[in-house]
C-alpha cells in the first residue's frame, strides 16, 4: 500500500505526486523522490522496479522477505534490509524494512510492522539544510530511526534479566520458572542479535574505505549509526553471556536446594526413627525387663523419647538442617 510519494528539491518538499508520475521527476536536478510503501503487493513491486530501474536480484530479495539485514550496492544504488522488532504480549514480532536508495530516489518498503516512518519524514522536512544533502541523508535518517528503536527494546530485555537474577538468589524462588524465563529471554535476545550483528557489518562498509557516492559526505552520520549498532551489539553479547552464567548458576541453586531439602528430610526421619527404635526395644518380649513393671515406666519412656527428640531437634536446628 502506498504511504507517501513526495518530490523534494533543494531540501524542500515540492509536491506529493502519483506513483506513475515518478519518472517525470527523476530527471530534475537537485531533486529526489521519496516513496514509502507498506506491505506492498506484486503489482507495486513491478511498478517500483519499472519506475526506478531496480536490480532484479534486489527486488527478488525484497519480495521474498525474511532476509538477513544487509547493505548492498547495485551500481550507484544502495539496497538496505533492516529488521523491525515490535514487542507484543512478551513476544517479538519481526518486521522488515527494505530501502532502495539511488542518486535521485529513496524507496522504503515496510512489511509486517505496525509503526511507520512519518516522524522521520516530518523531522527531515523540518531540517531543509540537512535534507538538501539528498537521498543519502534520507537513507541515513531511516536507518537511524530503525536502529534507535532497538534501544528501548534491549533495555527492557536487560530489565527482565535483572528481575530474573534477583529471583534466582531469592530463598523461595521457583527454579523451574527461572530457567524457563531465562531460556525464553535468550530466544528474544537472539532475535535482537540477528537484527543488529549483520547490520553492523553492512554499515561499516558505508564508513570505511570506498563509500557509495550516495553517502559520500555523510561518513560521520553513518559512523554514528555504526557506533550505535556496536553499542547494541556489545550489550546484547553481554546479556547473552550473563544468561549463560545465570543458567549455570541456576543449576547450582537447584542442586543446592536439593541438597538442603535432603538434609531437612533426613532430620525429620531421625526425629521419627529414634523413638521408633525405643518403642521397638520396649516391645520386646523378654521376661525380665524391669522397666516394664515400673509404675511410671510408660510415661518415663515417653518423656525419654520426647527429650531425645528435643535434643536432636536442637542439634539439627543449630546445624541448619531444620
Interactions with a second copy, residue window 146-205 (CB under 8 A): 165, 169, 175-176, 179-180, 182-183, 186-187, 190, 194, 198
Binding window for a second copy (CB under 8 A); candidates: 9-17, 21-29, 112-120, 294-302: 294-302
> Is residue 311 within the footprint of a second copy (CB under 8 A)?
no
- Compare residues 134 and 202 and give the one whose CB is closer to a second copy: 202
Site for a second copy contains 301 (CB under 8 A): yes
* DSSP alpha helix (H) spans, the chain: 22-25, 42-52, 56-64, 118-126, 128-131, 135-169, 175-204, 219-281, 290-293, 297-318
Return phi, psi of residue 171, to 5°: -60, -35
Site residues (CB under 8 A) for a second copy, limited to 94-153: none
CB closer to a second copy, 86 vs 224: 224
Residues in contact with 210: Cβ distance below 8 Å, sequence separation at least 6, in sequence order = none
Buried b / exposed e along 3-36 (16+ C-beta atoms within 10 A): eebbbbeebeeeeeeeeeebeebbeeeebbbbbb
Question: Would you count residue 289 as binding a second copy (CB under 8 A)?
Answer: yes
Q: 221: Cβ–Cβ under 8 A, 6 or more apart, which residues?
A: 137, 140, 144
Map the footprint of a second copy across residues 205-224, applying CB under 8 A. Answer: 220-221, 223-224
Tell me if residue 15 falls in helix, strand or coil: strand
Among 273, 303, 304, 307, binds a second copy (CB under 8 A): 273
- Whether 23 contacts 52, CB under 8 Å: no
Closest contact distance (angstroms) between CB of 273 and a second copy is 5
- Measured CA to CA, the distance from residue 69 to residue 81 in angstroms comes to 5
**CB of residue 18 to a second copy, shortest distance in Å:** 31
Q: Is 285 in the site for a second copy (CB under 8 A)?
A: yes
CB of 117 to a second copy, least distance (A): 20
By CB under 8 A, the count of residues binding a second copy is 83
Choices 42-50, 55-63, 97-105, 110-118 (CB under 8 A): range interacting with a second copy: 55-63
Residue number, 16 or 296, with CB nearest to a second copy = 296
Full strand arrangement of the beta sheet holding 12-16: 12-16, 2-9, 31-38, 105-111, 91-102, 77-88, 70-74
Choosing from 269, 304, 306, 307, the residue that interacts with a second copy (CB under 8 A) is: 269
- The answer to whether 232 touches 147, Cβ cutoff 8 Å, is yes
* Residues in 225-254 at the binding interface with a second copy, rule: CB under 8 A: 227, 230-231, 234, 238, 241-242, 244-254
Amino acid at each position: 500500500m502506498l504511504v507517501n510519494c513526495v518530490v523534494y528539491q533543494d531540501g524542500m518538499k515540492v509536491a506529493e505526486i502519483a506513483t506513475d508520475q515518478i519518472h517525470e521527476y527523476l530527471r530534475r536536478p537537485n531533486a529526489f523522490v521519496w516513496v514509502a510503501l507498506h506491505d506492498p503487493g506484486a503489482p507495486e513491486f513491478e511498478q517500483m522496479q519499472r519506475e526506478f530501474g531496480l536490480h532484479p536480484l534486489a527486488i527478488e530479495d525484497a519480495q521474498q522477505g525474511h532476509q538477513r539485514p544487509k547493505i548492498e550496492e547495485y551500481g550507484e544504488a544502495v539496497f538496505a534490509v533492516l529488521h523491525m522488532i515490535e514487542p507484543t504480549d512478551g513476544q517479538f514480532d519481526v518486521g522488515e524494512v527494505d530501502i532502495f536508495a539511488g542518486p535521485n530516489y529513496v524507496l522504503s518498503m515496510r512489511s509486517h510492522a505496525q509503526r511507520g516512518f512519518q516522524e522521520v519524514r516530518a523531522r527531515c522536512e523540518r531540517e531543509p539544510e540537512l535534507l538538501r544533502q539528498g537521498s543519502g541523508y534520507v537513507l541515513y535518517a531511516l536507518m537511524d530511526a530503525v536502529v534507535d528503536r532497538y534501544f528501548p527494546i534491549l533495555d527492557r530485555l536487560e530489565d527482565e534479566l535483572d528481575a530474573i537474577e534477583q529471583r534466582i538468589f531469592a530463598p523461595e524462588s521457583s527454579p523451574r520458572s527461572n530457567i524457563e524465563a531465562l531460556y525464553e529471554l535468550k530466544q528474544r535476545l537472539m532475535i535482537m542479535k540477528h537484527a543488529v550483528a549483520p547490520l553492523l557489518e553492512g554499515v561499516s562498509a558505508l564508513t570505511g574505505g570506498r563509500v557509495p557516492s550516495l553517502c559520500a559526505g555523510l561518513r560521520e552520520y553513518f559512523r554514528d549509526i555504526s557506533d550505535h549498532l556496536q553499542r547494541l551489539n556489545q550489550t546484547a553479547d553481554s546479556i547473552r553471556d550473563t544468561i549463560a552464567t545465570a543458567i549455570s548458576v541456576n543449576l547450582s541453586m537447584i542442586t543446592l536446594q536439593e541438597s538442603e531439602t535432603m538434609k531437612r528430610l533426613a532430620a525429620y526421619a531421625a526425629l521419627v526413627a529414634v523413638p521408633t527404635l525405643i518403642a521397638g526395644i520396649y516391645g520386646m518380649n523378654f521376661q525380665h525387663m524391669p522397666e516394664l513393671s515400673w509404675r511410671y515406666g510408660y510415661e518415663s519412656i515417653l518423656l525419654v523419647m520426647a527429650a531425645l527428640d528435643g535434643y536432636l531437634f536442637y542439634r539439627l536446628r543449630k546445624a541448619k538442617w531444620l
